């Protein structure tokens, strides 16, 4: 993380450019809600005309009143003019209101679809990347780019409409102001350009000093919110009296956020003052030119009214266009953040091949090493090992020995830093990850329960793709069926109370059985149990492993544990220490060898024997 903070920007960030982002957003709108485009164009034209319409109408009213026609003729013409003007403004107003009320929720819909793209990309992201701070930060920025109607994706959509309206007004009124006095056009342009460049400077400074620096802070804020509100942390917080400690931690995080937000608000307050001063100068110039035209060029009151409305519309549309254009560039920079994440690709592109259909699979580690980012030593070092078809392999060692890292390499959650892994003689990097994942039924130490019905928690699929009979069979084999019988809705019972207030909570042992049921339901050729029974004592762990071993039959299986009471039924045992496999063989073979495994087994067996005697 220190390396990232020293850089001006995230090294994974890409710059696509405003026009590229404009086309990108238009394509998203056309893809998800194309009807919004003609509705937006209708609002642009009608909203523009309404800004100077009454000035033009006022000119004709004043000219009519000042004409030499009779009172009766003037009254008749005036009524006719008012009726026509009223009808026109009613149509313009209706179309403008219709457009405004029909596009905003459609823009939200498009943003929701883009959020789904972001979520899908995050779910498909290589697991190994989830531990990198620079990847997490770019995801945080992408999240902000799809958060709210003023940011990123939806911000660009809204601003396209506003900019279109300003540009249309600017083009219509430019000619009229040029006729009035071309020098006024130049002056208003200069004021607008000054405001634009000042705004651009403020935007860049704001992004650099506030929002970019807040990316890691938002992660900290979200983490603290989760820790202080998540039920899973509640017991530790209360029993260790962590309330005051956590409040202090949260204050520190909030202080970082508030310090940046204070800078943000002060910056934009100064900007508002400068904008107001430039606006007053522009208005004064318009009045000055018009007064000169009336006094020295004989301009009529009607023309004064019309040119004043057109000049003000020109000035305001120019200033707002330039300012909104700055906003647009800011939103575009945020879309850069979004696209940087969506197009994030840190993996080497290789052409994949289908996994060959086979009755059995052999997996081999060829001098495999893996080192975590910024670590000074390998977590797994020069590993050579073979998992044969139908083999039951126990992977043992103390915590931190490299067991779980080896499993992540086996599952291809990580790719080796050195060496390679083969499946039936073929480098696993040549296979599509998703296809390779289907070969494994894993049960991890961290047992995750989702706020879905039990059936979907077992199948890990949508209701339409869940086979209920197969779910019940897996639950029965895993030893959870007695629990299901006590529930009114059976396997359709919701877990957790996040979605359904009647959702149920499972005990630790029941969660372990649910995880085993998942592995049985998936029915993959290779089963991996990564210390899912760490909360059990060694005897209970051995009984559960042996029962599960009977369930999976002739499938290959890997049992990971830092305790050795569960290794006797396995064909081979791999003993890990400091990232290296130091011993390999059957239980009796390793016991006769009298090495690290034998010593650890004897110590642990004595401990549990003493526990039984004490009881």
One domain, residues 576 and 493: no
Residue 354 lies in a domain: no
Check if the beta carbon of residue 558 is closer than 8 Å to that of residue 528: yes
One domain, residues 70 and 19: yes
Range of weakest confidence among 34-38, 72-76, 214-218, 422-426: 72-76
pLDDT reported for residue 214: 81
Q: Domain with 59 in it: what CATH number?
A: 1.20.1560.10
Spatial CA neighbour of 159 closest among 340, 336, 332, 333: 332
Last residue of a domain, one of 342, 371, 393: 342
One domain, residues 245 and 284: yes
Per-residue pLDDT band at 201 (split at 50, 70, 90): confident
Question: Any residues with CB less than 8 A from the CB of 513 and at least 6 apart, and which?
Answer: 475, 478, 479, 480, 483
Last residue of a domain, one of 342, 372, 402: 342
* More confident call, 434 vs 541: 434
Range of weakest confidence among 95-99, 298-302, 589-593: 298-302
CA distance 584 to 569: 15
pLDDT 10s digits, 567-588 = 778 899 999 999 999 999 999 9
One domain, residues 530 and 505: no
- Is the pLDDT at 614 greater than 50? The verdict is no
One domain, residues 36 and 162: yes
Percent of the chain with pLDDT over 70: 91
Last residue of a domain, one of 523, 540, 574: 523
Residue 511 lies in a domain: yes
Residue 356 lies in a domain: no
One domain, residues 407 and 512: no
One domain, residues 182 and 241: yes
- Is the pLDDT at 615 greater than 70? The verdict is no
Question: Any residues with CB less than 8 A from the CB of 552 and at least 6 apart, and which?
Answer: 520, 527
Q: How many domains does the chain have?
A: 3
Mean pLDDT of 523-534: 82
Tokens of 376: 């000074």
Mean pLDDT of 339-361: 83
Residue 495 lies in a domain: yes
Strand partners, 353: 431
- Is the pLDDT at 540 greater than 70? The verdict is no
One domain, residues 491 and 540: no
pLDDT reported for residue 527: 92
Its domain, for residue 380, covers 361-439+526-615
Give me the half-sphere count of Cα atoms (radius 13 Å) on the Cβ side of residue 298. Answer: 0
One domain, residues 560 and 425: yes
pLDDT reported for residue 2: 34
- Is the pLDDT at 405 greater than 80? The verdict is yes
Per-residue pLDDT band at 67 (split at 50, 70, 90): low
- Is the pLDDT at 112 greater than 80? The verdict is yes
pLDDT 10s digits, 409-453 = 999 999 999 999 999 999 999 999 889 999 999 988 777 888 899
Q: Give CA torsion, residues 324, 327, 333, 338, to 10 deg.
A: -100
Per-residue pLDDT band at 538 (split at 50, 70, 90): low
| Buried-state track 554-565, b at ≥16 Cβ within 10 A, e below 16 | ebbbbbbbbbbb
How far are the Cα atoms of 454, 459, 468, 470, 518 from residue 474, in angstroms, in the given order?
Answer: 12, 10, 10, 6, 7
Check if the beta carbon of residue 591 is closer than 8 Å to that of residue 396: no
Give me the half-sphere count of Cα atoms (radius 13 Å) on the Cβ side of residue 210. Answer: 18
Highest-scoring range by mean pLDDT, 19-23, 168-172, 516-520: 19-23
Highest-scoring range by mean pLDDT, 200-214, 297-311, 367-381: 367-381
pLDDT reported for residue 613: 42
- Is the pLDDT at 75 greater than 80? The verdict is no
Tokens of 107: 């823009």
One domain, residues 419 and 478: no
Check if the beta carbon of residue 284 is closer than 8 Å to that of residue 291: no
Q: Is 462 helix (H, G, I), strand (E, B) or coil?
A: coil
What is the number of residues in the chain? 615
One domain, residues 249 and 275: yes
Long-range contacts, 283-292 (Cβ 8 Å, 24+): 283/312, 283/315, 285/184, 285/187, 285/188, 286/184, 286/311, 286/312, 286/315, 289/180, 289/181, 289/184, 290/180
Residue 347 lies in a domain: no
Residue 214 lies in a domain: yes
Spatial CA neighbour of 530 closest among 569, 508, 557: 557
pLDDT 10s digits, 15-44 = 899 999 999 999 999 999 999 999 999 999
CA distance 3 to 373: 12
Q: Is 380 helix (H, G, I), strand (E, B) or coil?
A: strand
DSSP H helices in 125-242: 133-145, 152-180, 182-206, 212-229, 234-239
Mean pLDDT of 510-524: 89
pLDDT reported for residue 581: 95
One domain, residues 416 and 501: no
At 126, phi and psi to the nearest 5? -50, 125
Q: Domain with 372 in it: what CATH number?
A: 3.40.50.300
pLDDT reported for residue 370: 95
Residue 133 lies in a domain: yes
pTM, two decimal places: 0.73
Per-residue pLDDT band at 5 (split at 50, 70, 90): very low
Helices then strands, counting H and E runs in the chain, come out as 20, 10
Residue 349 lies in a domain: no
Check if the beta carbon of residue 480 is closer than 8 Å to that of residue 514: yes
At 246, phi and psi to the nearest 5? -70, -35
């Amino acid at each position: 993380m220190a390396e990232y903070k020293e850089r001006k920007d995230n090294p994974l960030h890409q710059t696509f450019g405003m026009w590229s982002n404009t086309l990108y957003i238009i394509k998203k709108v056309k893809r998800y809600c194309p009807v919004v485009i003609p509705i937006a164009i209708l609002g642009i034209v009608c909203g523009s005309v309404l800004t100077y319409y009454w000035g033009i109408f006022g000119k004709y009213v004043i000219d009519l009143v000042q004409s030499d026609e009779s009172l009766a003729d003037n009254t008749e013409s005036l009524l006719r003019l008012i009726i026509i003007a009223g009808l026109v403004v009613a149509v313009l107003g209706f179309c403008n209101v219709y457009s405004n009320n029909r596009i905003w929720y459609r823009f939200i819909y498009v943003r929701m679809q883009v959020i789904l793209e972001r979520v899908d990309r995050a779910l498909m992201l290589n697991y190994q990347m989830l531990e990198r701070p620079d990847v997490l930060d770019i995801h945080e920025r992408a999240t902000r780019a799809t958060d709210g109607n003023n940011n990123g994706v939806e911000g660009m959509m809204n601003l396209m409409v506003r900019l279109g309206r300003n540009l249309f007004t600017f083009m219509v009124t430019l000619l009229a102001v040029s006729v009035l006095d071309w020098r006024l056009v130049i002056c208003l342009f200069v004021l607008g350009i000054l405001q634009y460049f000042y705004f651009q400077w403020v935007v860049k400074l704001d992004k650099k000093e506030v929002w970019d620096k807040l990316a890691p802070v938002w992660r900290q804020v979200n983490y603290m919110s989760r820790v202080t509100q998540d039920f899973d942390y509640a017991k530790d917080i209360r029993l260790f009296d962590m309330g005051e400690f956590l409040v202090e931690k949260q204050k520190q995080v909030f202080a970082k956020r508030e310090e940046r937000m204070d800078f943000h608000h002060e910056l934009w307050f100064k900007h508002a003052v400068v904008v107001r001063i430039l606006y007053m100068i522009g208005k004064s110039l318009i009045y000055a030119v018009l007064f000169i035209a009336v006094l020295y060029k004989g301009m009529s009151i009607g023309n004064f009214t019309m040119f004043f409305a057109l000049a003000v519309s020109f000035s305001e549309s120019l200033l707002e266009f330039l300012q909104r254009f700055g906003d647009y560039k800011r939103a575009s920079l945020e879309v850069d953040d979004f696209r940087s994440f969506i197009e994030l690709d840190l993996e080497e592109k290789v052409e994949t091949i289908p996994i060959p259909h086979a009755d059995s699979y052999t997996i081999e580690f060829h001098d495999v090493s893996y080192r975590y980012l910024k670590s000074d030593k390998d977590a797994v070092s020069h590993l050579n090992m073979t998992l044969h078809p139908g083999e039951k392999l126990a992977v043992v060692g103390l915590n931190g020995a490299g067991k779980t890292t080896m499993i992540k390499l086996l599952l291809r959650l990580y790719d080796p830093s050195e060496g390679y892994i083969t499946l039936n003689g073929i480098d696993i990097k040549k296979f599509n990850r998703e296809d390779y994942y289907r070969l494994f039924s894993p049960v991890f130490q961290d047992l995750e329960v989702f706020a879905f019905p039990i059936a979907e928690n077992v199948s890990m699929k949508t209701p339409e793709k869940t086979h209920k009979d197969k779910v019940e069979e897996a639950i029965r084999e895993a030893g959870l069926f007695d629990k299901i019988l006590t529930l009114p809705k059976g396997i359709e019972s919701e877990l957790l109370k996040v979605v359904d207030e009647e959702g149920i909570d499972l005990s630790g042992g029941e969660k372990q059985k649910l995880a085993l049921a998942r592995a049985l339901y998936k029915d993959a050729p290779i089963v991996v149990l990564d210390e899912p029974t760490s909360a059990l004592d060694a005897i209970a762990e051995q009984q559960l492993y042996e029962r599960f071993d009977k369930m999976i039959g002739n499938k290959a299986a890997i049992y990971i544990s830092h305790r050795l009471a569960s290794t006797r039924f396995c064909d081979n045992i791999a003993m890990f220490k400091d990232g290296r496999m130091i011993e390999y063989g059957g239980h009796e073979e390793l016991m006769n060898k009298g090495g690290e495994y034998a010593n650890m087994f004897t110590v642990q067996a004595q401990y549990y024997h003493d526990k039984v005697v004490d009881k």
